[in-house]
Amino acid sequence: MTTDILTATDLKKYFVIGHTSRLKGKPITVKAVDTVSFSIHNGETLGLVGESGSGKSTIAYTIIGMYRPTSGNLKFRGEELFQANRKRPLHLRKEIQIVFQDPGSSLNPRRNIKEILELPLKIHQPSNNRLDQIIHLLETVDMPPEYMYKYTHMLSGGEKQIVAVARALATNPSLMILDEPTSALDVSVQAKIINLFLRLQNEFNLSYLFITHDLSLMRNVASRVAIMYLGKICEVAETADFFQRPLHPYTQMLLSSIPVVTEEEEKLKPKKVISTGEIPSPVNIPIGCSFNTRCPFVMDICYKIDPVMVEAGKDHTVRCHLFNQPELTSNT
Amino acid sequence: MSSEPLLLEIKDLHVHFAVYGGRLKVLDGINFYMRNGEKVGLVGETGCGKTTTMKTILRVLPMPPARIPQGEIYFMNSDILKMSNSELQQVRGRGISMIFQDPTAALNPVFNVGEQMMAVIKHSENRGKRSSRQEIHQQAINSLQEVALADPERLLRSYPVQLSGGMRQRVCIGMALSTHPKLLIADEPGTSLDVTIQDQVLRLLRALVVEKNTSIILITHTLGIVRELTDRVYVMYAGNMVEVATTKKLFANPRHPYTQGLISTVPRLTGGGIASGIPGRIPDYLNPPPGCRFHPRCPYVMDICHTEKPPLFRLDQDHEVACFLYHDQKKDTTMP
C-alpha cells in the first residue's frame, strides 16, 4: 500500500500581468497552472515533463512556498501547506527542499561552501559541532571536505550542482524538488549527478518531484511520469507503461521528436507524429482543448469543450477527447 | 570514398590564448577535412574547443588574446589565415555562413528583422552588382518563405523580441542561407529550443541543406542530433580530434575510450539506468597533461600515454582513432 507524501487538488496559480485598459480595465491573467491535480507517493520519483512555459516550474515554486496558489489544495502528509494568513511552519519547510536548474545563480558567490551549507543547518538542525555536520554532509555527496573553504567560482558546473544538492540535504528533507537539475550540464556530468540522486534516494528514502524536458532521462529516473502542456497535466502513467503505450497526441509528438543514439530506441519511438505549429501564448489559451492548434487528430469537439482526465488503463490517466468514449477505454 | 573535391581542410591548427598567468593551449594540432556536400558533425563536452575551431575558420576570434602559432585552414584551396580583409569578406557570407546557438543573442534587438536580413544580403552581393532596394526586399521575403515562416512581410517589420524562440532561430537560418553559402556552420542550433520545436527546426535545416546542396558542420553535444543529421563525425576532446568515423560506424562501434564513455552516458529511451559517466573533468589548458590529454581520465591508460601524444591510427577506410590501444594498426599518413 503506497501512501502519498504530497497531494495537489485542483491547484491553480494565475498571474495578473496587466489590465485591458488603464482605469476600469479587466485584469489580464496568465493561467500558469490551471486546475492541476496530482500526488507523489512515498519514496517515488514523479517526473514532470513539459516544454518551456508549460507551468512546470510554477508548480515547483508553489510547493516550495515561493508562490501562494490562487486556489486549490496542497497537502503534505495530510497537512495543508497553505494555511490562511499564516506563514508556513518551520517543520514543513524543513521537509520540502529544492535544487534549482542553474547552480551558478542559485549559490551566493560571496559565500564559501561552508557558509552556504551552514545557513540551513543553523535554522533547522541546531547543534554545537556544526563543522562536523558540514563535513558529514559533504561526505554524503562524495565531495572532499577541503572544498569547504572554496567559493563557487572555483568549482565546475557539476560541482556547484553537488553543493546545491548538499544544501538541500542539510535540513534532512523527505521531499526534494529537482527543477531541471542537469539541463545546464554535459551528459557525462549529468550521469554523475543523476547517480548521486538515485543513491541518496535509497539512502534517505527521499521522494522526488523531478522536473525536466528530457524524456530519455525521465525514462531512467522516474517511477511515474506526468506530461504538462500549457498549465494542465495531459497524461500521467507508470514510466514503463508510459513509454510503451503513450496515448495523448502531444505525448506521441514529444516522444517521436527525441533524437536518440541507438537502433533499439528508434524502434521504441511511436510512429512519427510530425510536430507542427508553435506553443500558443499562455495569455491566449485556445478555447476547448489547449492542444487543438497543433493536434493531428483534432475533432470538432476539441474546439468547444475542454476534455477531462479519464482512466485509460491501470494507473494511466489521459486528458483527451479521443479516449472519452467508453468503448475505447474499456478495451485498452 | 567520395570523389568530391575538398571544401575545407584544417592542417595541424594550434590556437593559444594569452591570459593572466600564462598561455592556454586550447587547440592542440587539429586536423579536419570535409568534402563538397558533406554533412559533418563535431561533438565534445563543453570547453573542448568546438566553438574555438569554428570561430577560427571564420576568423572572428578576438586576436589578441588568441594567437595562432601554427596551422593552415584551406577553404576551396585558399588559406583563410593568410587572406586580406577584403578577401575574407568574400568568404564570410557567400562562402561560409554560421548559425549560432542562441538566436536571441545573434539578432540585434534594436533593428527589425528586415533591416538585418537586407544588410546581410546586400553585403554578400558580387562586387559591381547593385540590386535595388526592392530586389533585396524580395530576396529577404523569399528566404523567410524558405524557412516556412508565415506572413514574411509582417515579420520583416517586426523586432526580434516580438518573435518566439523557434521563429528567431528560423530567421537566423533564413539569414544564413539567404546568401547561398557553400558551407553552413551550425553551432548547437537546437539547444535553446523545446524538443518539439527543435525537431521542427532541425527537419527544416536538413531539408534546406539537401535541397541547396550546402555542406554543413553541425556542432553539438547532443549525440542524438548528430546521429540523425550527419554523414561523418569528429569527436573532440580537450583541443584534439580523438576519433573520426562515419556516423553509422561511430555509433555502432565507438573505439576511443572517450567516445565510448560519452555514448554510454546518454540516457536511453529503452531504460536500464544511466552509466556512471567519465570520471574526472576536462583538463586545465594552462598546464595540459603531457602525452595523451585524456590519460588522467582513461580507464585503459598505459605507460606510453603519459609521455607521447597518440597520432591518428586508421582502423579502416573511414574510421580513425587517436589512441595507443590501436597502435598495431597502420599509422595514418594518408589524410587527404
Residue range A207-226, pLDDT digits in tens: 999 998 888 888 889 999 99
Residue A104 domain boundaries = 4-81+89-331
R_g (Cα) of chain A, nearest Å: 21
- B272 in contact with A, Cβ within 8 Å: yes
Residue type, A3: T
The mean pLDDT values, 10 residues at a time, for chain B of 336 residues are 76 87 85 87 86 85 83 86 83 83 84 88 72 84 81 85 82 85 85 77 83 87 86 90 90 88 84 75 82 86 85 85 78 48
pLDDT of residue B206: 84
The cell 572517450 sits on which residue?
B258
Contact at CB, B224 and A217, closer than 8 angstroms: no
Contact at CB, A219 and B269, closer than 8 angstroms: yes
Q: What angle do CA B6, B10, B13 make, to 5 degrees?
A: 175
Specify the CATH number for the domain of residue A12: 3.40.50.300
Q: Which three cell numbers stand for residue B142?
A: 523569399
- B276 in contact with A, Cβ within 8 Å: yes
* Tens-digit pLDDT profile for residues B147-175: 777 788 888 888 888 887 778 888 888 88
Contact at CB, B269 and A260, closer than 8 angstroms: yes
Q: CB of A118 within 8 A of CB of A167?
A: no
Give the strand pairing for B232-237 and B240-246: antiparallel
Entry pTM: 0.82
* Tens-digit pLDDT profile for residues A13-70: 988 888 888 777 788 888 888 889 999 999 899 999 988 778 888 899 999 988 888 8
Q: CB of A214 within 8 A of CB of A37?
A: no
Least CB–CB distance from A186: residue in B166, B199, B221:
B221
Contact at CB, A240 and B271, closer than 8 angstroms: yes
- For residue A151, the 8-state DSSP code is B
Q: What is the mean pLDDT of chain A?
A: 86
- From residue B159, give the alpha-carbon distance in Å to each of B153, B155, B164: 13, 8, 11
* A195 vs B contacts (CB less than 8 Å): 274, 276-277
Q: How far apart are the first and last CA of chain B?
A: 11
CA B179, CA B93: separation in Å to the nearest integer?
A: 6
- B275 in contact with A, Cβ within 8 Å: yes
R_g (Cα) of chain B, nearest Å: 21
The cell 553537488 sits on which residue?
A162
With CA atoms as reference, report the closest residue to B309 among B206, B215, B240. B240
* Residue B182, number of CB atoms within 10 A of its CB: 19
Q: Write out the DSSP string of B228-257.
A: HH-SEEEEEETTEEEEEEEHHHHHHS--SH
* B224 vs A contacts (CB less than 8 Å): 258-261
CA B111, CA B197: separation in Å to the nearest integer?
A: 25
* Residue A123, number of CB atoms within 10 A of its CB: 13
CA A49, CA A61: separation in Å to the nearest integer?
A: 15
Nearest CA in chain B to A52: B194
Q: CB of B258 within 8 A of CB of B278?
A: yes
Contact at CB, B271 and A192, closer than 8 angstroms: no
Per-residue pLDDT, averaged over A226-241, amounts to: 90
Q: How confident is the model at residue A328 (pLDDT cuts 50, 70, 90)?
A: very low
- From residue A203, give the alpha-carbon distance in Å to each of A109, A198, A199, A206, A316: 30, 9, 6, 8, 29
- From residue B128, give the alpha-carbon distance in Å to each of A9, A48, B125, B131, B178: 70, 58, 8, 10, 19
Nearest CA in chain B to A216: B269
A–B: how many Cβ contacts below 8 A? 120
Q: Which residues are A232's β-sheet partners?
A: A229
With CA atoms as reference, report the closest residue to A214 among A225, A202, A200. A225
- A44 phi and psi angles, rounded to 5 deg: -105, 170
Q: Write out the DSSP string of B124-157.
A: TSPTT----HHHHHHHHHHHHHHTT-S-HHHHHH
Q: What angle do CA A113, A119, A125 make, to 5 degrees?
A: 120
CA A100, CA A164: separation in Å to the nearest integer?
A: 8
What is the share, in percent, of chain A residues with pLDDT greater than 70? 97
Q: How far is B276 from chain A (nearest CA, A)?
A: 6
CA A52, CA A230: separation in Å to the nearest integer?
A: 9
Contact at CB, A220 and B223, closer than 8 angstroms: no
- B94 in contact with A, Cβ within 8 Å: no
Please name the residues between 16 and 75 in chain B that touch chain A, using a CB distance below 8 Å: 45-46
Contact at CB, A187 and B265, closer than 8 angstroms: yes
* Residue A330, number of CB atoms within 10 A of its CB: 7
CA A19, CA A41: separation in Å to the nearest integer?
A: 40
CA A165, CA A159: separation in Å to the nearest integer?
A: 10
ipTM, two decimals: 0.74
User: Under DSSP, is residue B38 helix (H, G, I), strand (E, B) or coil?
Assistant: coil
Task: Report how many helices (DSSP H) and strands (DSSP E) chain B contains, helices first.
Answer: 12, 12
The cell 603519459 sits on which residue?
B306
* Tens-digit pLDDT profile for residues A89-113: 888 888 999 999 888 888 999 999 9
**Residue of A162, A185, A186, A256 best to disrupt the B interface, most CBs of B under 10 A:** A186
Q: Write out the DSSP string of B151-187.
A: -HHHHHHS-GGGS-HHHHHHHHHHHHHTT--SEEEEE
- From residue B300, give the alpha-carbon distance in Å to each of B268, B275, B281, B284, B292: 25, 17, 17, 21, 12
Q: CB of B238 within 8 A of CB of B232?
A: no
Query: What are chain B's domains?
Result: 6-95+179-326 (3.40.50.300)
Q: How far is B122 from chain A (nearest CA, A)?
A: 31
pLDDT of residue B3: 67
Q: How many domains does chain A have?
A: 1
pLDDT of residue A325: 58
* B256 vs A contacts (CB less than 8 Å): none
pLDDT at A82 over 90: no
